[in-house]
Amino acid sequence: MSALLNPPQREAIRYLDGPLLVLAGAGSGKTRVITQKIAYLIQECGFSPSNIAAITFTNKAAKEMQERVGQLLKDKPSGLTISTFHSLGVRILREEAKVLGYKPRFSIFDSTDCYGIISDLSGSADKATIRRLQTLISNWKNALVSPDVALKNVENETEKLAALAYASYSATLKAYQAVDFDDLISLPVELFDKHPEVLDKWQNRLRYLLVDEYQDTNACQYRLLKQLAGPRAAFTAVGDDDQAIYGWRGADIENLRGLPRDYPNLKLIKLEQNYRSTVRILKAANAVIAHNEKLFDKKLWSDLGHGDPITVTVCKDSEKEAELVVMKLQAHKFEHRTKFSDYAILYRGNFQARALEQFLRDQRVPYLLSGGQSFFDKAEIKDITSYLRLLANNDDDPAFIRAVTTPKRGVGGTTLEALGTYAGERHISLFAAAFEEGFAHRVQQRQLGPLLEFCEFINRIEYRAVKEPVETVMNDLLAAIGYEAWLNDEEDKRAALARWNNVQELVKWLARKGEEDGKNLIELTQMIALINLLDKQEGEERPDAVQLSTLHAAKGLEFKHVFLIGVEEGVLPHRESMEPAKIEEERRLMYVGITRAQRSLHISYSEKRKQGRELIPCEPSRFIAEMGKEDIRFSGGKSDAPPDKASGAARLAAMKAMLAGKSA
């Protein structure tokens, strides 16, 4: 065990006498505790790696844990489970599929696939309505609310529409032999409830559980953990009630409150020493979060020195704020000889990034935008790659459904449901089922004809894909399905052209890669899948660029220097989060923003902000006052007499001149 551990960390690692909650403040070394405990269980306590599961929320966190455990144990332990909740859910479902009436190779639908089904079922073409229905169904699944119960408790027409769609949606997914993202947790819970012998098997397999970011669990995830822990209750939950910021997506802070109730012998250990931030930053964070009702009393401290004062800058409007932040960042970088990657600009909503991007581009400052859409996530690219996925693997059911319905080819929902039901009974793919005589007897000839025509078309293209040049096959595929014409029918002229240009870019890229690497279209398709997967994971090595990110997306990250912008009433806290419980979550969001900073923190807000075509007066966020004034330096606006506006303008001009001199 490392000598660098502090006493509470050491205690948390060694405690095995019952259930344990580790209350881990921001930057307090929680990942170190989890990974060291895994090593301790294996090396000192004789646990088999296959009997341990560490569960977290992101692939990035799971990967980091795996790497750290590998370093501690030298040899990678075989059988050790370090995964996300959803990966664990997939593993359980793959193994137990037949018990639930699924084939082991069931499909996992993404939100786009599910959007299409809900749109068809609801009969609505309004995108906002469909997304609202999608969110409601997701929230019900995560709260373990069945379609019947949801329908009984509806409070308005939208909820009624969602509840009616919910039952049909679940049946449709089952018929397609598919699950959605939420099912990956709710179906294992259902499985364990109905089949105690299966639960017993998994309880004996996973004999010690470690759960990261416990405050972010929803009702369904908590239930799964309770099931797996069983009466033995051998687990360590690590979390922080002050960083519970995902209530909007179903995370329930009550799960933290419920732990001592559900486990009366629960041991609580607090990690309060922060290894990330200076004293002034932590002082401000502690002062803000003290205004929330506390589940557990906790106060972060640091021995990293006082650090720089926190700056709060008042700006004339959001445009000026963006300009000033970029200028201040450049000046700070020039003065302190830092890298661009040492900086992050954080904000409450994505809309705040637009003006920033403009000024960053104008000043030629490299930046990374967190949460930006990947090229391979664009709808038109997913449409075309669904055909390619089907060429490479005829058993890819989500690809089959997307390809056969985009553009529509005369194969309707009734035909696909019948196909899904038959494929489920036979435990075969949709593609294979379409050719079976047994299925032909279940549908009419006018339904079967277009389906077989599509499947035979795929077979012909597949035969050509391994022999002919990539560009030739791709152009013939696009012409055969009439994709450009379909885009023009679906979208206005400008949007259709933009989407078609993206498709053409894909074709050119595939053709170029095919020539460079000597690969056919089938081989390239497998490479696309890999690129897409990698694209979704945060990069291994961050380029030297400023990170732009929402506060939600920044959780778990840290930066030497942080600019927190738009800290105004109506933005942070958000205007739709003014009731007490939601204000508390917004305050936790502010706390997360403050605690991302290691060495310096710069806060700004605008006196006016554009709404539509109007400039609306703004008030500084209540959270700024809650930070206290002792370690804060205010500048700009009416709040600060010296320096006045003229000296502020002079300072900005001097900054610009300095930067111009540097680039000359």
The residues annotated as belonging to the active site are 30-31, 212-213, 243, 596
d(CA 356, CA 358): 5
Residues shown for the chain: 664
Show the DSSP H helices in 313-426 as ranges.
Answer: 318-336, 353-362, 379-392, 397-405, 413-426
Q: Is the dihedral of CA 275, 277, 282, 288 positive or negative?
A: negative
Contact between residue 36 and residue 1 where contact means Cβ atoms under 8 Å apart = yes
Produce one character per residue of 143-162: b if its CB has 16 or more CB atoms within 10 Å, e if not. Answer: ebbebeebbeeeeeeebebb
Identify residue 432 by its one-letter amino acid code: A
DSSP conformation letters of 98-125: HHHT--TT-EE--HHHHHHHHHHHHT--
Identify the three-state secondary structure at position 24: strand
d(CA 613, CA 616): 10
Q: What is the DSSP letter of 291?
A: T
d(CA 134, CA 224): 23
Helix (H) or strand (E) holding 52: strand 52-56
User: Taking phi first (over 0 means left), then psi (-120 to 50 degrees means alpha), and beta for anything else, what does residue 505 get?
Assistant: alpha
Contact between residue 285 and residue 587 where contact means Cβ atoms under 8 Å apart = no
Contact between residue 172 and residue 121 where contact means Cβ atoms under 8 Å apart = yes
Helix (H) or strand (E) holding 520: none
Paired residues of 620 in beta bridges = 568
Please report how many Cα atoms fall inside a 13 Å half-sphere around the Cα of residue 536, on the Cβ side: 9
- Count of beta carbons in the 10 Å neighbourhood of residue 237: 26
Identify the three-state secondary structure at position 15: coil
Contact between residue 45 and residue 36 where contact means Cβ atoms under 8 Å apart = no
Of 570, 567, 575, the C-alpha closest to 639 is 567
- Count of beta carbons in the 10 Å neighbourhood of residue 188: 27
Paired residues of 414 in beta bridges = none
Q: What is the DSSP letter of 470?
A: H
3-state helix, strand, coil in the chain (%, to 5): 55, 15, 30
Q: Is the dihedral of CA 238, 242, 248, 254 positive or negative?
A: positive
